[in-house]
Structure 1
Amino acid sequence: MKSAAVIFFILCAISFLGAGKYFMDLQRPGVYPPKQMLKKRAGTLAAGGGVCLLIGFLFSFFQ
Structure 2
Amino acid sequence: MKAVTSVLFLLSILLFAGAIWNALALKRPGFYPPKQVLKKRAAALAGVGVIILLVSVILSSF
Runs (4+) off by over 4 Å:
none
- Percent sequence identity is 45
Distance in 2 (CA, whole Å) between partners of 1:39 and 1:49 is 15
How much has 1:30 moved relative to structure 2? 2.3
Q: Distance in 1 between matches of 2:8 and 2:44?
A: 16
Matches within 5 A, 1:1-63: 1-62=1-62
Counting matched residue pairs gives 62
CA distance in 1, matches of 2:35, 2:29: 10
Q: Distance in 2 between matches of 1:11 and 1:51?
A: 11
Q: CA RMSD in A?
A: 0.7
> With structure 2 as the length reference, what TM-score do the two structures score?
0.95
CA displacement at 1:8 relative to structure 2: 0.5
TM-score scaled to structure 1, two decimals? 0.93
How far, CA to CA, are the matches of 1:2 and 1:26 in structure 2?
Answer: 37
